[in-house]
Structure 1
């Protein structure tokens, strides 16, 4: 006879025969109420049980109509299990399965039109593979700040029936790692009835809050797959100019940096080779950090919290980045409720937060969530870090919005690329960062400092960093809106 504990806290005893059926019933429904006790929801706690190693098709049989399924994302998206989940939903003619995620990579077969009555995707931050589904009304987006996402599970606003994640293979102690993504995954796992883990040997082992013991995994699926690659493009001249403006004018020695992936963060990092004692506290970071660590520019020495450590929550990059974080105790993975907590951020010295956007109006409103009515991304961590930097205890924080002055993909009636600095935001556009939150806006033409300035002063500063092809038009439009000429 063997004793085991299910995901919602019931202890039960089963024999070898018929154990699969009993285990499935109790894990899914918690039916054994005669003898039970509550155990810690911490997934690093060692329990007296083993995962069941099965195929992806077998693992998803536990999903039924009306379930809520949480899916791990970014570079750790468990695509093989998600494909099996989609096939299972079609074959069993499931209905109303809610699939929640923060940001997933690869394709999303469960979001295709033929799955509209089977699966309902719900995005906490809209990834590219879900934009079409959500904009066509077949999926949902929840507006919320990144640091708030774990509270959806902890406050039981979204009860999770099944979590599907990717982990590294277990070590000799039975511990796996969540690898490139902790973000909100750990909170979802702690409140999930069933955990399905895709076990991938290519997933780097990371530490901090990334550790999960295999005894918390109900179904383990072995599937080795290379992680998705991002950030291999060289920056354009525009992106390089923006990076240089930020590095030369706004990043001080001893600063703590927040930046995501992409050409502008990489261009900024490449210009910081002569800086000293920089630190990283960021929900994610890019490959440009690696060379700065190795050259001694990034030391994390001056940080008030987590001194000596790079603190992050999820990672996407190339193989160089994945190799860098693998088994690297310098990297401390934390939940977004910590990395993106304004009170944590504000304690870091000279906190410098670099974020991007879709467009900025002449009052300083920052549009990042949608292109007009078309949903594009969401709130993410922008406001978390913009506000955290602004509230810096040392008064030396730098909240930065960086963007190219024009959109090369679209042209106005004159046939020139459209301006990203606009008199009035597009109808339906989602303002993520308000004009009161805005401090620095950087384009390839310079730095606009907005904090403490009136509307006409803001308009003047923003027009000066707009593309020269648009400055005269913006000045006239500013007068029409404000009834006064822009002025320093």
Structure 2
């Protein structure tokens, strides 16, 4: 029924990108879904295009249109969340970060920003005329609502994924279809968990009980915890998360995840986007136990908190003695982004029996080999505050965990110093005294 319309809209990548004009804003790629053919075709148009703003995030593969234009005269990359490649581009002045609270991203697209063209990768069209967004649901539907033109690049290897809503686009809303054949999906190996990561995870694991609903961030420590959960005696766990990674598949295969205690999406694993190994992509394909949702559903604190015992585990770069958390920059230098960390910090605390954990090693070593504390009297100059101090619940290092909720500044300082590296505790006490947040006891 829909194949005739499909065939009429089928064009080459070079033909499709002709719809992009000077000055356009293009929603282009997220994580494992870079549209490679469209990217190459756009690069071939470099000399005839100027001031084209591309938006996306968490880029894990090279992009031809950015590599061919290192001066940024033709294409500017604007990132909702920095991956490693984007981080280097920002340092060179070739890319820019867009501050966000991830749960609000679809609203930004509907109400606040300009979107001229959407050019994304999708799964093959089904018999009903729908293209599944596959491993990235996130915010694509909102961008499509506002765009002048919509281009989909069909990847035969993109898994078609079950969803809640806004997880697919109908052929009637698509202007151009580019057939990509079998292109595979980029592999994002799980970050290796260090002994330090495992030490930190061991403080969190006892806080998780049967029937809990899990959200894990990205990185070695959440990966370590995922493996520990898979090897634990926990049962009937649920998943409601922003990013789906291999660790969740391990938990499912170990029989730990049933989702039967969830208040929302009972029996289903809820996510906004996924990136990992082929094991993860195979797990997603036509799996009725998985539900891809837009991020204003997965991350909205009111929605996520309706699941009881929501456990949120995320990483940080530094914490000051009043409990402010920086998870996105080293001083003024951007490292990643806010993502949905604050969303889940708030959601977990507001969940019945829920708990939020900010996890970080107590120290780091700089390029000169000097050791520094990640728990600081005051934030590094220029550091971005990701989680404000009233929102933070548990902070965890390899030296223990503390709950900051309801504590005055002197008790917060005392608690955080107790989990700092022992070599820095005396100097942190001196800083706390100078900041008037250290209480002399009898």
**Among 49, 52, 74, which residue is 1:118 paired with?**
74
Q: Is the contact between residue 29 and residue 59 of structure 2 (CA under 8 Å) also seen in structure 1?
A: yes
Q: Is the contact between residue 141 and residue 168 of structure 2 (CA under 8 Å) also seen in structure 1?
A: no
SS in 2 for 1:207: coil
The equivalent residue for 1:247 is 205
**Among 184, 200, 205, which residue is 1:226 paired with?**
184
Q: Is the contact between residue 218 and residue 314 of structure 2 (CA under 8 Å) also seen in structure 1?
A: no
The equivalent residue for 2:320 is 361
Q: For 1:80 and 1:359, how far apart are their aligned partners in 2?
A: 40
Q: How does 1:343-382 map to 2 (within 5 A)?
A: 343-382=302-341
Q: For 1:194 and 1:400, how far apart are their aligned partners in 2?
A: 42
Q: Does 1:437 align with 2:391?
A: yes
Deviation at 1:480, TM superposition (A): 2.4
Q: For 1:464 and 1:409, how far apart are their aligned partners in 2?
A: 23
Q: Is the contact between residue 390 and residue 397 of structure 1 (CA under 8 Å) also seen in structure 2?
A: yes
**Among 258, 269, 279, which residue is 2:238 paired with?**
279
Q: Is the contact between residue 261 and residue 285 of structure 1 (CA under 8 Å) also seen in structure 2?
A: no
SS in 1 for 2:307: coil
Q: For 1:279 and 1:337, how far apart are their aligned partners in 2?
A: 19
**Among 229, 238, 243, which residue is 2:196 paired with?**
238
**Among 137, 146, 150, which residue is 1:182 paired with?**
137
SS in 1 for 2:169: strand
Q: For 1:486 and 1:453, how far apart are their aligned partners in 2?
A: 16
Cα distance, 1:130–1:295 mapped onto 2, change above 3 Å: closer
**Among 263, 270, 273, which residue is 2:227 paired with?**
270
Q: Is the contact between residue 215 and residue 311 of structure 2 (CA under 8 Å) also seen in structure 1?
A: yes
**Among 267, 274, 297, which residue is 2:256 paired with?**
297
1:194-215 deviation line (CA, Å, top 9, x unaligned): 1111211221111113222334
The equivalent residue for 1:15 is none
Moved more, 190-199 or 110-119: 110-119
Cα distance, 1:452–1:205 mapped onto 2, change above 3 Å: same
Cα distance, 1:255–1:410 mapped onto 2, change above 3 Å: farther
Q: Does 1:313 align with 2:269?
A: no
Q: For 1:320 and 1:389, how far apart are their aligned partners in 2?
A: 28
RMSD: 2.3
Q: For 2:394 and 2:187, how far apart are their aligned partners in 1?
A: 31
Q: For 2:338 and 2:282, how far apart are their aligned partners in 1?
A: 30
Q: For 1:267 and 1:230, how far apart are their aligned partners in 2?
A: 16
Deviation at 1:173, TM superposition (A): 3.5
The equivalent residue for 1:142 is 98
Deviation at 1:237, TM superposition (A): 0.2
TM-score of the pair, normalised by structure 1 = 0.84
Q: For 2:441 and 2:350, how far apart are their aligned partners in 1?
A: 28
Q: Does 1:56 align with 2:13?
A: yes
The equivalent residue for 1:463 is 417
The equivalent residue for 2:300 is 341
The equivalent residue for 2:404 is 450
SS in 1 for 2:30: coil
Q: Does 1:323 align with 2:290?
A: no
Q: For 2:91 and 2:122, how far apart are their aligned partners in 1?
A: 31
Q: Does 1:160 align with 2:115?
A: yes
Q: For 1:71 and 1:346, how far apart are their aligned partners in 2?
A: 31
Deviation at 1:159, TM superposition (A): 2.8
Q: Does 1:387 align with 2:343?
A: no
Cα distance, 1:289–1:132 mapped onto 2, change above 3 Å: closer
Query: Structure 1 runs of 4+ off > 6 angstroms?
Result: none
The equivalent residue for 1:3 is none
Bigger Rg over Cα = 1
Cα distance, 1:151–1:102 mapped onto 2, change above 3 Å: farther
Q: Is the contact between residue 121 and residue 139 of structure 1 (CA under 8 Å) also seen in structure 2?
A: yes
Cα distance, 1:344–1:202 mapped onto 2, change above 3 Å: same
Deviation at 1:353, TM superposition (A): 0.9
Q: Is the contact between residue 319 and residue 379 of structure 2 (CA under 8 Å) also seen in structure 1?
A: yes
Q: Is the contact between residue 429 and residue 438 of structure 2 (CA under 8 Å) also seen in structure 1?
A: no
Moved more, 128-137 or 263-272: 128-137
Matched residues, number: 435
**Among 53, 57, 79, which residue is 1:98 paired with?**
53
Q: For 1:254 and 1:233, how far apart are their aligned partners in 2?
A: 26
Cα distance, 1:115–1:69 mapped onto 2, change above 3 Å: farther
Moved more, 105-114 or 464-473: 105-114
Q: For 2:437 and 2:309, how far apart are their aligned partners in 1?
A: 38
Deviation at 1:108, TM superposition (A): 3.5
Deviation at 1:105, TM superposition (A): 2.6
Deviation at 1:114, TM superposition (A): 4.0
Structure 2 residue ranges without an equivalent (≥5): none
Q: For 1:384 and 1:120, how far apart are their aligned partners in 2?
A: 28
Q: For 1:343 and 1:410, how far apart are their aligned partners in 2?
A: 42
The equivalent residue for 1:129 is 85
The equivalent residue for 2:63 is 108
Q: For 1:247 and 1:484, how far apart are their aligned partners in 2?
A: 31
